Amino acid sequence: MQIQPILAALRRHRLAVFLIAMEIAMACAILCNALFLVFNRVDMMRINSGVDESRLVVVSLQGVDETQAGDLVARLRAGFGGLAGVESVAVANAAPFTQRAGEIGFRLLADDMHYNQQGHFYVAGPNFASTLGLTLASGRWFTPDEYGPIGEFLPRTPSVMVDAAYAGELWPGQDPLGKQVYSDKEAYRVIGTYTSLMRPDPSPGARHNTLLLAGLPGRHLSDVYVLRTTPEQAQRVWKQARALVARMAPTVVVDLPHSGPMSDLRRAYFAADRAMAGLLIGVIGLLLGITALGIAGLASFWVQQRRRQIGVRRALGASRRDILRYFQTENFLIVSGGIVVGMTLAFGLNLALMRVYELPRLPWSYLPAGAVALWLLGQLAVLGPALRAAAVPPVVATRSV
Amino acid sequence: MFGYYLDLALRSLRRNAVLTALMVLAIAVGIGASMTTLTVMQLLSGDPLPGQSTRLYYPQLDPETGADVRREPPPLLDYISAQDLWRSGKADRQTMIIDGGIKVQPQAGQSPFIANTVGTTSDFFPMFRVPFRYGSAWSAADEAGAARQVVISEALNQRLFGGADSVGRRIVLNGSSVQVVGVLDHWRPRPRFYLLAGARHSGGNTSYFFGPPHDVYLPIRTALDINAGNFGWYTCWAKPEPKNLPQAPCESVALWVELDTPARVADYRRYLQGYDAQQRAMGRLTHPANVAMMSLPEWLAYQNVVPGDVKLQTWLAFGFLLVCLLNTVGLLLAKFLRRGGEIGVRRALGATRGSIFLQCLTESGVIGMLGGILGLALTLLGLWLVRQQPVEYADIVALNVPMFLLTVALAIVAALLAGVVPAMRASRIPPALQLKTL
């Protein structure tokens, strides 16, 4: 296939070629960035909470009267534990996908008063690890005598556990066991790490920066109950747990947006992300559709316009395949031109987005993906008109218009 | 003449129905996408208090005493600073705001619920032009005496009293009985501008700030008396005593001042700096001076309150519109040049370049008109889709008259712009050359 004649023909339609190439360039820039945004959202939506979500039911309470909290916790724990299908019950200050409750700045050095670190401190009673399905990464779990009553915010027990990956960030290359974290006047010593426990409100910048303290359920630890059951029974257990609260503690409010089977809480938590990802996919689809229609429209005009030339070529011995190839190559050249400009635009757009929305840099791999998609789209769009061109009979050459 | 062009345009469009449909569709989809996002953007970025917003100012200082020093002053004040500034009465009006949840116990037999609550001062209502349906705010004397009085929102009045005039009735809030003195009329500021702490650092997830305003309004001292443990703070620089917000080493109070003239603004700025300097001289504040005072529009911009997703959608939609326009330009170009012969004949029969140009523009204008009408339908569809989204502002999204007119105008302007270059090209076709090929 010779390219020179195609280029010569394109030079006669400079403006139209430029326009369609610019359209493809814009489409390429938007496509790459939109795909990247979708990927980021989906990545966030698939975050690993580290717990057995499908087996867990969360009941978050509000408006618990402090003077009666101790008694209420004891009764609710017994009540929840007595529901059919509930294997265990844990009481905590928060759970994944509930309201955050222990966001605290801390220090790694006793005498440096700068609070350089910030994490979510889960405070939880016995059973928390086994109920949620946490696994030990190093060190040990809390012993029963380490569970103490809660002071004002945190228990005074000096032992703390840390998310294993987070510990790696806090003390890179070192064994976290035995290390100390400081907050206000308290010092906590790391006795163990667990493989993974997500913070209650994950965001792209903060996902697993969690620590775990041992506290006894009671006066200041009475709000969040995690029930372990089987995936099939989760919905029923949630309904019964809600009815149980209404019966046993009619003056307490169940915080509905933060209560329910944990898989439902996850779905609700990412509802906006899911909607945005859907919208972006919709935009991508429309964008590709419009671009394809534009290419097809212009190509069929050119085919109509060149019917006589095509006829002449056919009469001079060009095969159908040659004509088909001609239009396909022409399209390939135009799309390639658009893609070259589009890649630059894609990076420019990404830089603008990065400045405005704290987005990460667009990885290189999106460019070839976008390019391939547009090449395929171009070939697909031009196929119809090109086939029609190939079907032009040689006899056209002998007719005048 | 225009009638003739219109007739020619319609004939030409009909001759090539598929291509016409394609161009109309491209413009309609581009217009639909961009007008949907522009409508949402306009709804969310408008002035929440036209006429009043530039008179409202938000004083800030850095009350922290820890080792870490912030670059920007925190978005809320500590209670002591806020109380001092409020009590000084140096502004034309001033109000303090704290917020939290309070347990509302309806009639026996109904389950309790948590209502969004602010503790504030009586100037809140006139400063923010909050409309009353029944009754009024509490009096200054009641405020000073921490009277058990409350103003409730239209929504809460509906829920508790079925919308009846409930002034004088009592409700139980967190175990305390308080008397309703006022019921608000419909009030849906967007965003909930009076409390924006945290928006700036939320990574663009500001949908929350576009939800309905608070349901319960209490005098600030009453609020602290009956609901002490349930008022939040933005952040603390040392460990606070529980339930002691006034003494807590925490930022928890928004202070707004109304200043009616530029001279008053300058005076207040000086006063604020003086207060900050005096407090540092006394040793209560230890960080370097970091005082700011933004007007409400500046504060909204600083807090980046328009959701990141919405801005992103708007960018995307206009990029999309551009693609659609490029598409239309290409197709129009092909179409006009294809009619070279016809144009050649008209030129040979005496039509000027100008009239060819106008004829071509008329044709693209008709395409724009059709695209606009279809685009309007797509905009309505797009807005319906936005209303189905799980966002706090879903209920306020609707097309208004200016946006309706803008949609049609934008479509026609876009199509005319798309038509300019092809029309110019077409009008430059030399008559003789084209006639020869006929």
Q: Which amino acid is at A328?
A: Q
Q: Which residues of B touch A305 (CB under 8 A)?
A: 334, 338
Interface contact A22, partner B, CB < 8 A: yes
A123 pLDDT exceeds 80? Answer: yes
Q: Which residues of A118-157 are buried (b: 16+ CB within 10 A; e: fewer)?
A: ebbbbbbbbbbbebbebeebbbebbeeebbeebeebbbeb
Confidence of residue B346 (pLDDT cuts 50, 70, 90): confident
Rounded CA gap, A133 and A130, in Å? 5
pLDDT mean over A206-217: 93
The reply to whether residue A113 touches residue B66, judged by beta carbons under 8 angstroms, is yes
Question: Mind telling me how many Å the CA of B399 is from chain A's nearest CA?
Answer: 19
Confidence of residue A295 (pLDDT cuts 50, 70, 90): confident
Rounded CA gap, B249 and B280, in Å? 16
The reply to whether residue A271 touches residue B111, judged by beta carbons under 8 angstroms, is no
Confidence of residue B258 (pLDDT cuts 50, 70, 90): very high
Q: Which residues of B touch A34 (CB under 8 A)?
A: 316
Look at residue A19 in the predicted model and tell me its pLDDT. 85
Look at residue B87 in the predicted model and tell me its pLDDT. 94
pLDDT mean over B320-330: 86
Rounded CA gap, B60 and B37, in Å? 34
Asked if residue B160 lies in contact with residue B83, where contact means CB atoms within 8 angstroms, the answer is no
The reply to whether residue B111 touches residue A302, judged by beta carbons under 8 angstroms, is no
Residue that has been written with the tokens 């062009």 in this structure: B5
User: A268 or B204: whose pLDDT is higher?
Assistant: A268
- Inter-axis angle of helices A4-11 and A14-45, to 10 degrees? 100
pLDDT mean over B52-70: 92
Interface contact B391, partner A, CB < 8 A: yes
Q: Which residues of B touch A114 (CB under 8 A)?
A: 67-68
Rounded CA gap, A107 and A84, in Å? 45
Look at residue A229 in the predicted model and tell me its pLDDT. 96
Confidence of residue B436 (pLDDT cuts 50, 70, 90): low
Confidence of residue A266 (pLDDT cuts 50, 70, 90): very high
Interface contact A364, partner B, CB < 8 A: no
Rounded CA gap, B399 and B318, in Å? 18
The reply to whether residue B391 touches residue A272, judged by beta carbons under 8 angstroms, is yes
Could you tell me which residues are beta bridge partners of residue A162?
Answer: A193, A211
Interface contact A309, partner B, CB < 8 A: no
Question: Mind telling me how many Å the CA of A26 is from chain B's nearest CA?
Answer: 6
Task: Calculate ∠ Cα A295-A301-A305, nearest 5°.
Answer: 145
Look at residue B435 in the predicted model and tell me its pLDDT. 61
User: A343 or B434: whose pLDDT is higher?
Assistant: A343
CB under 8 Å to A47, separation ≥6 — which residues? Answer: A198, A202, A207
**Residues of chain B numbered 236-275 and touching chain A (CB < 8 Å):** 238-239, 241-242
DSSP 8-class letter at A161: E
Q: Across chain A, what does the average pLDDT equal?
A: 90
Confidence of residue A352 (pLDDT cuts 50, 70, 90): confident
Question: Mind telling me how many Å the CA of A114 is from chain B's nearest CA?
Answer: 5
B76 pLDDT exceeds 90? Answer: yes
B437 pLDDT exceeds 60? Answer: no
The reply to whether residue B33 touches residue A283, judged by beta carbons under 8 angstroms, is yes
Rounded CA gap, B77 and B86, in Å? 11
Beta strands (DSSP E) in B377-430 are: none
CB under 8 Å to B107, separation ≥6 — which residues? Answer: none
- Closest A-chain CA to B330: A16
CB-closest option in B326, B335, B385 to A23: B326
Lowest mean pLDDT among A261-270, A350-359, B35-44: A350-359
> H/E element holding B158?
helix B154-161
DSSP per position, B199-225: STTTTT--GGGGS---SEEEEHHHHHH
* Mutation for testing the B interface, residue in A12, A13, A22, A23 having most B CBs under 10 Å: A23
Rounded CA gap, B120 and B94, in Å? 10
Q: Is A241 helix (H, G, I), strand (E, B) or coil?
A: helix
Interface contact A253, partner B, CB < 8 A: yes
CB under 8 Å to A179, separation ≥6 — which residues? Answer: A108, A167, A170, A171, A189, A190
Q: Which residues of B touch A297 (CB under 8 A)?
A: 19, 22, 327, 330-331, 334
Question: pLDDT (tens digit, 9 = 90+) per residue, A296-326?
Answer: 888 888 888 888 888 888 888 888 999 999 8
Question: Mind telling me how many Å the CA of A294 is from chain B's nearest CA?
Answer: 5
Look at residue A86 in the predicted model and tell me its pLDDT. 95
Q: Which residues of B touch A204 (CB under 8 A)?
A: 203
Question: pLDDT (tens digit, 9 = 90+) per residue, A142-155?
Answer: 999 889 888 766 77
pLDDT mean over B4-21: 82
pLDDT mean over A177-201: 92
Question: Mind telling me how many Å the CA of A349 is from chain B's nearest CA?
Answer: 10
Tokens of B169: 């009735």
Look at residue B433 in the predicted model and tell me its pLDDT. 64
Lowest mean pLDDT among A36-45, B82-91, B416-425: B416-425
* Mutation for testing the B interface, residue in A14, A18, A19, A201 having most B CBs under 10 Å: A19
**Residues of chain B numbered 91-120 and touching chain A (CB < 8 Å):** 101, 103, 105, 111-114
Look at residue B13 in the predicted model and tell me its pLDDT. 79
**Residues of chain A numbered 38-57 and touching chain B (CB < 8 Å):** none
Look at residue A1 in the predicted model and tell me its pLDDT. 60
Tokens of A275: 């909607």
Question: Mind telling me how many Å the CA of A237 is from chain B's nearest CA?
Answer: 21
Rounded CA gap, B12 and B343, in Å? 12
B74 pLDDT exceeds 90? Answer: yes
Parallel, antiparallel, or unpaired for β A186-194 and A180-183?
A: antiparallel
**Residues of chain B numbered 188-217 and touching chain A (CB < 8 Å):** 203-205, 207
Rounded CA gap, A341 and A24, in Å? 9
Asked if residue B251 lies in contact with residue B233, where contact means CB atoms within 8 angstroms, the answer is yes
What percent of chain A is predicted at pLDDT more than 70?
98
Residue B410 C-beta-side C-alpha neighbours within 13 Å: 25
**Residues of chain B numbered 351-390 and touching chain A (CB < 8 Å):** 385, 389-390
Question: pLDDT (tens digit, 9 = 90+) per residue, A12-62?
Answer: 778 888 888 998 999 999 999 899 989 989 999 999 999 999 999 999 999
Entry pTM = 0.87
Rounded CA gap, A177 and A159, in Å? 11
